[in-house]
Structure 1
Amino acid sequence: MIPRLNRALVLEHRVEAPDGAGGYSASWEILGSLWAEITPGRGRAKAGVTTAVSAVPYQITVRAAPVGARSRPVAGQRFRDGERFYRIDAVAERDASRRYLVCSAEEVTA
Structure 2
Amino acid sequence: MNHTFIMILNHMLSYLNLHLMSRFGVAMGASTGAIYYVYTGKFQSKSRKITLFIISFMFGVISAEFAANFLSAITPSSVVAETSFGAMISAALCMKILKAIGNNINDFVSLFKKS
More strand by share: 1
How high is the TM-score relative to the length of structure 2?
Answer: 0.24
Name the structure where helix makes up a greater proportion of residues.
Answer: 2
| Greater radius of gyration (CA) | 2
Question: Given the two structures, how large is their TM-score scaled by the length of structure 1?
Answer: 0.24
Q: Which has the higher contact order (CA 8 A, sep 6+)?
A: 2
